[in-house]
Amino acid sequence: MMTTVVRNSEFFLLWLLMLSSTFTLFFMFFPQAFLVKHKEVPPLAVPVGQQGKDDTQARCDLFTGKWVRELREPAYNSSTCLTLSELKNCERYGKDQDFLNWRWKPDDCDLHRFDPEEFLHIVNSKTMMFVGDSLSRNHMDSLLCLLSKVEKPINVYKDEEEKTYTWYFKSSNFTLKNIFSKFLVQGKERTINGTGTGVFDLQMDKTDIEWANKLDRTDYIVMSNDHWFFRKNYLHENGKLIGCTFCTETNLTEINLNTAIKKATRTALKFIRNNEKLKTLTLLRTFSPAHFEGGTWDNGGYCNRTRPLESEKRLNEIEWEIRKGQVEELERVRGEGGVKEFGLLDVTECMMVRADGHPGTHWNNVWMKGFSDCVHWCLPGAVDVWNDMLLQVMKRFSSFH
């Protein structure tokens, strides 16, 4: 039992996150709720008819909208998706499945449900790589489950620490990879007497070679940068210490979290842009909010809501700022031109109200008894919408299908 638990790197990562109380510093610093105002988007004037519909679909802002109540069949379950992780299998651990009965409705159009056949058709003979932390893995796990309806993939590679996975879909010659990278840039944990401290030295101008060396023949990159920055980290540029996030030393420059995430995002995007051998579509997924209430990881925080948050959108200001920073970096790299394509999977707004979508205590937490996971997302669940969006966004880049 112990061996299986320890071998499960996701479990280990959760545990690491939990141990590091600095991870939650941020939640203590910014506990206030606030309202995010909706930008008023005028309706698009398009002719009625098929042509018009396609046009609306192609131009519609998929990321601004609301969740509407709708009874729907789950897209998959643990008997149809054999790769469903124990940590996200909320149904098995007693979560009421009514939280699945919500549909994301963009203000100006409808978002189609993920169509696995269409997706596999587009990615025929292509390779897609997910790069990021355990939330990136969460996203890929959802995609695997959605695709399993059509075809059971073959796991062709898994490293010892279960940080890199490769799946292969034979019928469409499609390769799907996941590469674990906490920061996208190089990060090395400080140790004391061989024990990790949860504090990292980050080289903000150097991409993490874990993924940077594996981009050969990659057509699609889905990249993200989330929660590992919510801790004390030492930041370096040109090999020189420039400061830290959540500093405790008074002789060092305090660098805000948003700046750190922006720098890492910029370095990663620039690396892809400057890699001459690559012809890729890179999609940057924006920040995925956590929903602890009444505390944090390690002091009784929970997330037991059974409905999405209503009208007012509860979100910490800094989470919205992080998203804004990511969007700016994406626009920056797009503005620099070049042959590579860059797009956005802007999930922050739709996820910020889904306080009901996390495993909470509904997971196999024997080992971490009593702790709530309010960071990752249940499968099936709200996170599946990331792939509804992924497919529609991919279709907008016509040179990639």
Ligand X SMILES: *[C@@H]1O[C@H](CO)[C@@H](O)[C@H](O)[C@H]1NC(C)=O
Q: Report, as residue numbers or ranges, the catalytic residues.
A: 134, 373, 376
If one asks whether residue 101 binds ligand X (CB under 6 A), the answer comes out as: no
Choices 42-50, 72-80, 135-143, 313-321 (CB under 6 A): range interacting with ligand X: 72-80
Q: How far is the CB of 76 from ligand X (least distance, A)?
A: 7
Name, in order, each residue with C-beta under 8 angstroms of 206's C-beta and a sequence gap of 6 or more. Answer: 185, 186, 267
- The size of the interface with ligand X (CB under 6 A), counted in residues, is 14
Q: Find the binding residues for ligand X in span 137-176 (CB under 6 A).
A: 173
Report in angstroms the alpha-carbon separations of 7 from 2, 203, 361, 377: 8, 28, 21, 21
Q: How far apart are the first and last CA of the chain?
A: 45
Tokens at residue 392, please? 């529609």
The footprint of ligand X on residues 287-316 (CB under 6 A) is: 294, 302, 304
Residue 196 or 294: the one with the smaller Cβ distance to ligand X is: 294
| Other CB atoms within 10 Å distance of the CB of residue 328 | 12
Whichever of 202 and 322 has its CB closer to ligand X, that residue is 202
The reply on whether position 251 binds ligand X by CB under 6 A is yes
- Distance set, CA 160 to CA 235, 296, 364 (Å): 29, 31, 22
Distances (CA, A) of 198 to 166, 192, 203: 28, 10, 16
Is 44:93 a contact under the CB 8 Å cutoff? no
- Taking the mean position of all CA atoms in its chain, how far away is CA 356? 17
Should residue 50 be labelled a site residue for ligand X when binding is judged by CB under 6 A? no
Burial label for 311, CB within 10 Å (0-12, 13-18, 19+), is exposed
Rounded to a whole number of angstroms, the minimum distance from the CB of residue 127 to ligand X is: 6
CB of 126 to ligand X, least distance (A): 6
Figure out which of the listed residues 56, 64, 80, 275 binds ligand X, where binding follows CB under 6 A. Answer: 80
Q: With CB under 6 A as the contact rule, which of the stretches 60-68, 74-82, 220-228, 277-285 interacts with ligand X?
A: 74-82
Single out the residue of 50, 79, 311, 399 in contact with ligand X (rule: CB under 6 A): 79
Contacting residues toward ligand X, per CB under 6 A: 77, 79-80, 125, 127, 173, 192-193, 217, 249, 251, 294, 302, 304
